[in-house]
């Protein structure tokens, strides 16, 4: 029986990489990377020199067999994504399911993820939350937003910077404009910011900017929440 390690990597700040993560990556036989070039920078920075292979959303169905062949041959594999926790809006789930089904050990080395970092920074309730990840771009998007508007839990949405204004406009339409929310941008990085306010206020703020850049998480208070 071999071990598949799911290893969280920094979401921006390299100092967030844990000593245990480095230890595990130095011990495994192979590292499956979402993008071998992106991860190459991280691995070099930490002096990790192991064979890598690519494992991303477009090849994971094909590559999962390669990964489990390695495990079946008695070797250990670590899976890392470009940033944060593999499996969270990133490849990971398929590999974990297949490794479990084949009775290999799956060990998760926890670490940063943008969702819970943004949630805690939002100053909105963290006791119950729903992780939505990326909303569908077209089909089903409006229906999903309508359902989310009724949820009493705090909502976590991943969004790209060029769609932020569109998303805030949609939330304004489906939710009450006075609903509290937060936009967390560039977490753990040099230009980290968390802007809090009503959906209305956030929309006005980001509309006034010349450009919106960086990585973004939108947090929206659950229905019925008020301070």
Which residues contact ligand SAM (rule: CB under 6 A)?
A: 11-12, 81, 83-85, 88-90, 113-115, 158-160, 184-189, 215-217
Tokens of 12: 């921006």
Token code pair at residue 142? 């409006």
Nearer to ligand SAM, 2 or 145 (CB): 145
Please, what is the minimum distance in Å from the beta carbon of residue 103 to ligand SAM?
A: 27
- Considering the complex, state which of residue 115 and residue 221 has its C-beta at the smaller distance from ligand SAM: 115
Minimum gap (Å) between residue 212 Cβ and ligand SAM? 12
Bridge partners, 154 (sequence order): 129
Nearest residue (CB) to ligand SAM, 2 versus 12: 12
Q: What's the rounded Cα separation, in Å, for the pair 28 and 30? A: 6
Query: Taking the complex as a whole, how short is the minimal distance between the CB of residue 215 and ligand SAM, in angstroms?
Result: 3
- Decide whether 133 or 140 has the Cβ nearer to ligand SAM: 133
- At its nearest, how many Å lie between ligand SAM and the CB of residue 173? 21
Q: Which is nearer to ligand SAM, 91 or 222 (CB)?
A: 91
What is the closest distance, in whole angstroms, from the C-beta atom of residue 1 to ligand SAM in the complex?
27
């Amino acid at each position: 029986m071999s071990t598949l390690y799911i290893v969280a990597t920094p979401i921006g700040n390299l100092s967030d990489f844990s000593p245990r993560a480095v230890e595990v990556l130095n011990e495994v036989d192979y590292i499956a990377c979402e993008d071998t070039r992106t991860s190459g920078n991280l691995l070099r920075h930490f002096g990790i020199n192991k064979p890598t292979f690519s494992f991303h959303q477009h090849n994971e169905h094909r590559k999962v067999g390669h990964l489990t062949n390695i495990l079946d041959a008695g070797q250990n594999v670590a899976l890392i994504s470009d940033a944060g926790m593999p499996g969270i809006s990133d490849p990971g789930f398929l590999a974990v399911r297949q490794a479990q089904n084949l009775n290999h050990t799956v060990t998760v080395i926890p670490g940063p993820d943008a969702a819970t970092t943004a949630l805690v920074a939002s100053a909105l309730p963290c006791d119950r939350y729903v992780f939505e990840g990326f909303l569908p771009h077209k089909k089903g998007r409006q229906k999903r937003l309508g359902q989310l508007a009724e949820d009493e839990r705090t909502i976590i949405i991943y969004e790209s910077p060029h769609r932020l204004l569109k998303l805030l406009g949609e939330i304004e339409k489906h939710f009450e404009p006075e609903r509290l929310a937060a936009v967390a941008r560039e977490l753990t990085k040099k230009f980290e910011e968390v802007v809090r306010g009503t959906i209305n206020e956030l929309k006005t703020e980001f509309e006034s900017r010349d450009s919106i850049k960086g990585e973004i998480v939108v947090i929206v208070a659950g229905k019925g929440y008020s301070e």
